[in-house]
Amino acid sequence: MEYGFVRVASAIPSVKVADCRYNVDNMLPIIEEAARNNVEILTFPELGITSYSCADLFQQQLLLQEAEAGLQRLLEATGEIETIVIVGMPVPYSGTLLNCALVLHRGIIQGIVPKSYLPGYSEFNEERWFTSGKEIPEGAKVTLCGQEIEIRRMQLLRTSSCTFGIEICEDIWGPNPPSIQLALQGAEILFNLSASNELAGKHESLVQMCCQHSTRCLSGYVYSSCGFGESSSDLVFAGNAIIIENGKILKKSKRFCLESQLMISEIDVEHLRHQRMTNTTFSASRNEFLTREVTITNIPQKADRTCNITRKFSPSPFMPLPSQMDSRCEEIFSIQTAGLAKRIMHTGAKSCVLGVSGGLDSTLALLLAVHSFDLLKKERNGIIGVTMPGFGTTGRTYNNALTLMQALGITQREVSIKEACIQHFKDIDHDINLHDVTYENSQARERTQILMDISNQTNGFVLGTGDLSELALGWATYNGDHMSMYGVNASVPKTLVQHLVRWYANNLADERTRATLFDILDTPISPELIPAHDNGEIKQKTEDLVGPYELHDFFLFHFMNNGYAPKKLYFIARNAFEGIYDDATIKKWLTTFIRRFFTQQFKRSCMPDGPKVCSCSLSPRGDWRMPSDASYNLWLTECESL
């Protein structure tokens, strides 16, 4: 598919034990449905043609003959479709029996992968019927349905859109699963044909293990385990179809379902490739553990180029799930607090100075300062909050700033910047009625000078309040609010700042503080550098000027974490914000994001220290190192073509 997505599917068909005809009959409509939905790779459960729980019937020649006849029917059914189908069946080899996965494409068996690790414990005594694939030579040949095929444990299968590998059930439970070697050799998607019974609590462990394995291998993981119809003499099989991408579950089947199920989703292979390229641990492991030769089989699949993805992208990728919001906010707040506390101890600072505007960013910084001082058992009067009313300061933000500082018990200072700025305008011969960038930036620089000088007076340091989103857009005055001694919010995106403040209000604040915090949360985001309307309402709203922060945070997350180009950013943004923003709006602000991200790098090249708390940071000492004069032509040209 386009944009680096590969559509995969995990199927759970209804089966009857040892009834190959019935089982294939139930596979065929699933294959047809997958083909109609342009699935590129479809997998069925372990030993799906015969069913898994045949026990000693596996040693019956009639069952093995019927399994091959069922395979022939599947080959015929797949002869005219592009979908690659992975099925499980017993394969006789030189007087032994192997538990195998077979890869079928357009009527041809493209590969056979035997199971490596056979459980020998009571519930699953596979060693009674099967031989481990480790005990046969790689490349041993068998003939099935008139085709001579090599059997290989370590086998990569390559299509026009991805490289994938296969392991079978117990393989993943071992300390050194075959899939690790396959991933290190280039498998981007791993398929597991399984037959895992249900036990109380086992399902959670299984899902966790698959997710962790996908994360460790930086891969997609498609799991299919048999369900209803398997023998229930001693065990129950609930049916588990799970599709995972780098540890994140994309699709999951319903357990204990009596009908067949087909789970379809798209794995973002481009994302996986980017993660592997930037993860030096993964590449270092490749050199250390590549001890086994892997065979590569090319499958001439004609992938459908139409990308109508079924998965939904979150419009707030920096946000935790609602069920995790409180614990994640507490964790982030603690990381920020620990970073600030260390800086206070290291510098021996007597005070912590910050501008308190009544806006979200300075509010969060103030709350963190209070928490850090409490943690260090320092008196809160060592925190100096400075209000610096200017030409655009409104009564609402000003009063909120004063009320908040009073409620928190810190030292308050007020220094108006109006007269100093008026004198400055006279000094540089600037018309005070011309509300241009000089008018705005002079106020920001005046405020920073005040904070720096007060920190000198009080043997302290200036605490920066700017956030990650502002750094990405360069929405800060160079050597104004851009500068501080420690930028405690530097890795917190704007969309997360409000959640952190709300979390504090709900969990740590007293009643008076809580009311003020909620009013701050309801106040429009603004630098308040332009005089307000006659009725006192804020005239200069940031999101009217640079665009919605939820869009910019979305672009930033995927640009930084996944390396997506504008074309893909636009595509997934349309998916995430469907019904919220139209295409023209998304394109407009995406273009703005790209232009500002490139042109404002010079501000990030000399940004202050600050703790990393989210998945990415723009620190020039850490996550992002880019020349300040890098050209944006490639990216803007692609934006224009959207």
What is the set of active-site residues? 46, 115, 169
Q: By three-state DSSP, how is residue 598 classified?
A: helix
* Element (DSSP H or E) covering residue 190: strand 189-194
What DSSP character marks residue 57?
G
Q: Residues of 245-267 as b/e, b for ≥16 C-beta within 10 angstroms?
A: bbbeebbbbebeeeebbbbbbbb
| Residue 163 CA to its chain's centroid (Å) | 21
SS (H, E, C) 371-402: HHHHHCCCCHHHEEEEECCCCCCCHHHHHHHH
CB 621 within 8 A of CB 575: no
User: Which are the contacts of 640, defined by CB distance < 8 A and separation ≥ 6?
Assistant: 591
DSSP assignment of 192-252 equals: EEE-----TTHHHHHHHHHHHHHHHHTSEEEEEE--BTB--SS-----EEEEEETTEEEEE
CB 129 within 8 A of CB 152: no
User: Which are the contacts of 552, defined by CB distance < 8 A and separation ≥ 6?
Assistant: 469, 472, 473, 494, 546, 589, 593
Residue in the block written with tokens 């017993």: 90
> Any bridge partners for residue 109, and if so which?
104
Measuring CA to CA, which residue among 403, 391, 352 is closest to residue 511?
Answer: 403
Q: How far apart are CA 377 and CA 341, in angstroms?
A: 11
Residue in the block written with tokens 């032994």: 96
Residue in the block written with tokens 């069946």: 89
Taking the CA atoms of the chain, what radius of gyration do you get in angstroms? Answer: 30
Q: By three-state DSSP, how is residue 164 classified?
A: strand
Would you state the structure tokens that stand for residue 425, as one six-digit string? 């305008």
